[in-house]
Amino acid sequence: MSLDVSPALLEQAERGEVDEADFVDCVRTSLPYAWEMISSLVAQLKVDGGPFADNRTPPPDEHARGELLRALASDAIRGALQRHFGVRLAFQNCHRVAVFPLDESTDERLARFTSVRAQLLNQSPELRDC
């Protein structure tokens, strides 16, 4: 299961109305490694500035890797995180998460980061099973 959904949040979904803040809190508590990774990158981007902030350190274990995959592979979770933090998220190789400002000036850098070329250049034998 991807998220630990409380009965109250499930009831909201069954009624048809889901408060996004409640959903984001569910993501925060269900996927703490992914939340911390994205939160720290957003903070780094705010402090350091620049076109983006990214993580190149693989997760410490498969559980943490799974959290990143669940958070970034789900359109609903990814979209909610982007709206919550006010950034665009990019993802490579099951661990390289990047945050980009919403500013259009970073569009070219985001396109390069998410390109086929960048994906190929970010390969290595130790990441074969990630």
42-101 pLDDT per residue, tens: 999 999 988 999 998 889 999 999 999 999 999 999 999 999 999 999 988 767 889 999
SS3 state of residue 85 = helix
Q: Residue ranges of the alpha helices (H) in 1-130? A: 7-15, 20-30, 32-48, 62-73, 75-85, 107-113, 116-121
Give the tens place of pLDDT for each residue, 84-105.
Answer: 999 999 988 767 889 999 887 7
**Whole-model pTM over 0.75:** yes
Tokens of 94: 């099951």
Q: Are 76 and 27 in contact (CB under 8 A)?
A: no
